[in-house]
Structure 1
Amino acid sequence: MAKIDAFFKLMLEQGASDLHMVSGQQPVLRIRGDMERVQYNVLDNDELRGMLYEITPEDKIKIFEETGDVDFGYEIPGMARFRANLFLQKYGIGAVFRLIPSEIMTIEQLGLPPICKKFAMLSKGLVLVTGPTGSGKSTTLAAIIDYANKNRKDHIITVEDPIEFVHKSQGCIVNHREIGTHTKSFAAALRGALREDPDIILVGEMRDLETIQLALEAAATGHLVFGTLHTTNAPKTVDRIIDVFPSHQQAQIRTTLSESLKGVIAQNLFKRVDKKGRCAALEILVCTYAVGALIRESKTHQIPSAMQTGKKYGMQTLDDAIMELLLKKWISPEDAYDKAIDKQKFVQFLKEPPPEF
């Protein structure tokens, strides 16, 4: 048993989502969104480096020493998996570990809307899950892939950096590929995936033009592609994809995206005030013919109106989702106001409206 495993055990006992270990400070846990120090000695650089190197694969240590940061996955059998990031900072080495539960929560357990099941059963197209870092994108995607795995008879390939949730093959065959370990890059893995008879491809992160272009090509050529982006809402997600491309390609990409995009789930996590825990507010965009026309005609600013009128298709705006949580008294008015897009709607719930209102 590695020395650092005791901290991972503490994470599980305390219900923490992240563990921060940085030279010159005490270890810190993120519990329900708040940072809480662990009653432990201040970490010495050499001691911490020894602890971290004990669990870091040799090839990853080499990359870390060359570049100053590296990602990898670490698993304690029978306990949990962790996504690790090592980095250098002013006082020495540092690391952040994100807990990846060994049990994948279902769509029902997460309280996701029924449209997520439809996304899982699509024959082709692009479905994106977006939101800030730590908003639960991987958990939502894992639940959707899990539903497909149980209810389809297909081939699923996941491409991640590093592998997070591990799906056991059920109705589907599932193959997990990790960047740096099993393939050079997201783009290389996507190019390879098209020759590996996939039905569903999960791209852990659509970081650059080449990866986005290949994901769009895969979706356009009859595959179902799931991916994540760090955008806050559905219209910004569409704009982000188009803006990645050079201006002379953007008209063509709008047409491709209008045909390939099937849905966007944009989510934000909130701390619950009624009980311990957190809950997600989800914005859902379903790419109907009308939405496709808006993307093609460069009218993405009109997408929120289309979402308001498309509720029968399963669409909802982020503000409507936040309002629903607020009216249930699950979240605080201050938190709702802070993360809302149209803040005017939420001012009436605040005890002290901000100066601009």
Structure 2
Amino acid sequence: MLRLDFYVQHLVRHNAREVMLASGEPVRFRFAEGERASNTAIEHAQVVQLVQEAAPPASIDELRRTRRTSFQHAATGGILVRVEVDAAQAAEWRVVVRPEDDGGAIELDGVGVRPPPRGGVERITAERPVVEKAAVVEKATMAQSPAARMGAPRPAPVASEPKSDPKSGEIRIEPGHSRNAMNASGKRVDAVLGEPKINHLLRMMVACGASDLHLSSEVVPMVRRHGEMTPLFDRAPIEDREMRELLLEIAPARNKEEFGAKNDTDFAHTIEEVARFRANYFMDRKGMGAVFRQIPFDILPPEKLGLPPKVLELCHLSKGLVLVTGPTGSGKSTTLATLIDVINSTRSDHIITIEDPIEFVHPNKMCLVNQREVGVHTGSFKNALRAALREDPDIVLVGELRDLETISIAIETAETGHLVFGTLHTTSAPSTVDRIIDQFPADRQAQIRTMLSESLRGVIAQMLCKKKGGGRVAAYEVMIANPAVSNLIREGKTFQLKSVMQTGRNLGMQTMNDHLIELVKAEKVEPLEAYMKSNDKQVIKDMLLKAGFKLDLGGVQEH
């Protein structure tokens, strides 16, 4: 049911003559004996959505040109209404909805409307097929309206079923759930007329400081804010048909074809002057879904990320392999973008990035930067990496070391005098070395150990922790490849790497537990959060107690 239909039902239930919706004001209902107002104001964004999802294309165009429009709408149940829209003030729209009739027009607060019918609300029924025009309007509204077809937001729980107080006559529209990201942020985001409907949700996601927007069929829009999942705003769940129309509007043709064949696809979407977004579309048991990761236009400086100084020294190497690792959503792309930006700002070299999709955009500063997207500019990571050797690069960034062949070429590229940056989904520096070696058959592992021991220059493993007071902060594990590290890799004694990292603090190395304890001491992270993020819980538990921090585990399991 469209948001507008909700108010039409309310109009009929209370036998009102008109309903008036104005941005930021209570919903007003006009009766023969006077007016009544709801106890809840309607937000400007909701007014805009109400119009966008119900208005036919011609009315949308007229509204864009003249800031006013009028259209006929056949609501659920066959109720025919006239909708008058005044958008002369950009953030103060006024909408009047009244039962349709053929009487003359009157003026209502500057908006031209007609008086209500004498015989009550006109309905389209099986007994009255003469109202042919209503069927045409309903078809146009449902089949042609871009907002309706693309899954514009439906009636929100902020306006659950209206009730009348029998004593005061007040019309109550009960407020919805207050725990949502937009309420928590205290911000309001207006829809932009004429742009894809998904952009309004993405704008809200950016405004409330969320990192990801999660859209799933039959579920309300959710965001990840400060590391926690929460509803974006109060509205009804999005049905699968709406979801498809909402998402496919912005998908490139190549990705539509890929999604049709594989039920998965990735691409980048941009809203100018807002942000870029990495989009992933998928199917689950309820229907189509998507996750949008926010990628800011501005690349964060190293100080903002809290990168250890030794990590920045890796940007000045002429050759070798540098790996940034961590679980999904740990900020690997952000860290790599910062490292590439440092190189771009301090060296005069040629940088090639191979990504799926391109996330952070790097303009040419002191370096020449070529960014290639898998599936658009090249067939695969391995193909692009092999071709990069013939493109005179100094620095190569590989978005993801996905398979044996890509890893093998990356190591060979590092060996042949190039600086290679790559990512893996591992949680510690020692496990990163094991993951690379285990990718290869047993008869090649000795050779790969030797090659890796000579080419590996550093591993940065990271994860994001919830920050005290809101937000998130990164914790880093740093392993620098000195002779001791190289020997242990060559000899297959990776289980001893942690000991070398602990004794190599003067060289800039640190374990994840070391940095977690630093964050706790700096009062940036709660002791329990540090404990939960640690890979070695017994060790960090002892470290916290030794440092004088009380750890209340409650029902949390230690293993």
Of 199, 223, 226, the residue aligned with 1:29 is 223
Of 255, 258, 270, the residue aligned with 2:465 is 270
**Higher RCO, 1 vs 2 (CA within 8 Å, ≥6 residues apart):** 1
- In 2, distance between residues paired with 1:173 and 1:276? 38
1:333 Cα deviation from its structure 2 partner: 1.5
1:159 Cα deviation from its structure 2 partner: 0.4
Which residue matches 2:213? Answer: 19
Which residue matches 1:297? Answer: 491
Q: Measured at CA, do residues 355 and 340 of structure 1 come closer, stay the same or move farther in structure 2, by a change above 3 Å?
A: closer
**Residue identity matched to 1:262:** R
**Would you say how many aligned residue pairs link Structure 1 and Structure 2?**
356
Which residue matches 1:152? Answer: 347
Mapping 1:311-330, distance limit 5 Å: 311-330=505-524
Do structure 1's residue 220 and structure 2's residue 415 form an aligned pair?
yes
**Residue identity matched to 1:63:** E
- In 2, distance between residues paired with 1:137 and 1:150? 20
Of 357, 366, 369, the residue aligned with 1:171 is 366
**Residue identity matched to 1:32:** H
Paired residues of 2:226 and 2:472 also in contact (CA < 8 A): yes
Q: Measured at CA, do residues 356 and 150 of structure 1 come closer, stay the same or move farther in structure 2, by a change above 3 Å?
A: closer
Per-residue Cα deviation, 1:284-322 (whole angstroms, up to 9, x for no partner): 000001100000011101101111111121100111001
TM norm structure 1: 0.97
Percent identical among aligned pairs is 55
Mapping 1:1-357, distance limit 5 Å: 1-37=195-231, 38-273=233-468, 275-347=469-541, 348=545, 349-352=550-553
1:229 Cα deviation from its structure 2 partner: 0.3
1:355 Cα deviation from its structure 2 partner: 7.4
**Residue identity matched to 1:350:** L
1:41 Cα deviation from its structure 2 partner: 2.1
Per-residue Cα deviation, 1:198-227 (whole angstroms, up to 9, x for no partner): 000000000100110010010010000000
Which of 193-202 and 341-350 deviates more? 341-350
- In 1, distance between residues paired with 2:440 and 2:553? 44
- In 2, distance between residues paired with 1:183 and 1:28? 33
- In 2, distance between residues paired with 1:272 and 1:279? 6
SS of equivalent residue, structure 2 residue 211: strand
Q: Which has the larger radius of gyration?
A: 2
- In 2, distance between residues paired with 1:330 and 1:110? 13
- In 1, distance between residues paired with 2:414 and 2:558? 44
1:339 Cα deviation from its structure 2 partner: 1.8
Per-residue Cα deviation, 1:95-152 (whole angstroms, up to 9, x for no partner): 0000001100011221111112211111000000000100011111111000000000
Q: CA RMSD in A?
A: 1.3
- In 2, distance between residues paired with 1:333 and 1:13? 30
- In 2, distance between residues paired with 1:168 and 1:195? 22
**Residue identity matched to 1:156:** I
SS of equivalent residue, structure 1 residue 16: coil
| Structure 2 residue runs without a partner (length 5+) | 1-194
SS of equivalent residue, structure 1 residue 156: strand
**Residue identity matched to 1:257:** L
- In 1, distance between residues paired with 2:334 and 2:347? 20
1:356 Cα deviation from its structure 2 partner: 6.5
- In 2, distance between residues paired with 1:101 and 1:293? 40
Per-residue Cα deviation, 1:6-40 (whole angstroms, up to 9, x for no partner): 00110111000000111111110110111111212
Paired residues of 2:513 and 2:540 also in contact (CA < 8 A): no
